[in-house]
Amino acid sequence: MSTHDATIGAAIRGALLTAEPQAKVMAARKVARDWRLGRLAWRFDAPMPDRPARPAAPELLPPNRMPKRGKAGSQRGRIALWHALAHIEFVAIDLALDMAGRFGAAMGEAFVSDFLAVAADEAMHFALLDRHLAAMGSGYGALPAHDGLWQAAADTAHDVAARLAVVPMVLEARGLDVTPATLARVRANGDAAGARILERILDDEIRHVAFGVKHLAACAEMRGADPENLWISLVRTYFRGGLKPPFNDSARLAAGLSLSASRALAS
């Protein structure tokens, strides 16, 4: 079999359709590595699934049916926090894969390289969090998780600009805003290993948001639109509810997000 029998489209589709967490982590990292090493042909010959494969556990519940997290500071509450973060990272693997596989043909090789690198980062984030849960006597799948995260992908499957405006530039940017408070709480609990994981995630997520900003700017240029106005109008169309301040201004600036546009979207 020649190396180029494998195509980028089929490799990404295969990773999206991998259900088991450890296997999905391996599959996402392998696609990113194979792409980087030139082992995948530039052909998008496989459709992206409407929904990625999910493991038997965790049970997925609508956001309003999620159980309470337990008392803050209790072991149960701490496990619930890390489990929720692990779930976000698990879904983020698929969000990045779908971005590359669904829109890569139109957006080009640099776009695919960026979002496959994101998928590999998310796989690493998930693996670190799952290992942290294991050290606490738990693991991904032990608790229910909420099923709302894929909705943003479904709502924006027809338009790469809408996807960029909402997934990296709203949802991942939200992570920049809330992580410092979580980090402070984790440090206050004396969880140094957990704090190191969150610091690494925060660093990486700034880069992920920046990829969103960069590629939305390219879309704006192709459409002859102003990037900030395009972002604002796409978020108003495709994201229910405004952005929630307070914002992490320094992280947003580092990612290249407009603070004035962020504030406009908060009201």
The residue of the chain with the least Cβ separation from Fe ion equals 208
Residue with Cβ nearer Fe ion (88 or 219): 88
Helix (H) or strand (E) holding 145: strand 145-146
Interior angle at CA 251, CA 250 and CA 256, nearest 5: 95
Residue with Cβ nearer Fe ion (98 or 172): 172
C-beta of residue 19 within 8 angstroms of C-beta of residue 57: no
State which of positions 159-178 bind Fe ion (CB under 5 A).
172
Contact segment (CB under 5 A) with Fe ion among 89-97, 128-136, 211-219, 241-249 equals 89-97
Site string for Fe ion, 103-132 (x = CB under 5 A): -------------------x--x-------
Contact segment (CB under 5 A) with Fe ion among 23-31, 82-90, 142-150, 246-254 equals 82-90
**Shortest Å distance, C-beta 175 to Fe ion:** 7
**Shortest Å distance, C-beta 154 to Fe ion:** 19
**Shortest Å distance, C-beta 6 to Fe ion:** 26
**Shortest Å distance, C-beta 172 to Fe ion:** 5
208 lies in the site for Fe ion, by CB under 5 A: yes
The residues near 195 (Cβ < 8 Å, ≥ 6 apart) are: 183, 186, 187
**Shortest Å distance, C-beta 200 to Fe ion:** 9
**Shortest Å distance, C-beta 83 to Fe ion:** 15
C-beta of residue 230 within 8 angstroms of C-beta of residue 118: no
Residue with Cβ nearer Fe ion (28 or 160): 28
The residues near 148 (Cβ < 8 Å, ≥ 6 apart) are: 62, 63
State which of positions 3-32 bind Fe ion (CB under 5 A).
none
Cα separation, 228 vs 128, in Å, equals 35
**Shortest Å distance, C-beta 80 to Fe ion:** 19
DSSP alpha helix (H) spans, the chain: 8-16, 21-36, 75-107, 109-135, 151-155, 160-166, 173-188, 192-223, 227-238, 249-255, 259-266
C-beta of residue 31 within 8 angstroms of C-beta of residue 41: no
Residue with Cβ nearer Fe ion (13 or 125): 125
78 lies in the site for Fe ion, by CB under 5 A: no
Contact segment (CB under 5 A) with Fe ion among 71-79, 136-144, 198-206, 234-242 equals 198-206
Which residue in this structure is represented by tokens 């192709």? 222
The residues near 61 (Cβ < 8 Å, ≥ 6 apart) are: 144, 145, 146, 147
Please state whether 112 falls in left (phi above 0), alpha (psi between -120 and 50) or beta: alpha
Residues in contact with Fe ion by the rule CB under 5 A: 89, 92, 122, 125, 172, 205, 208
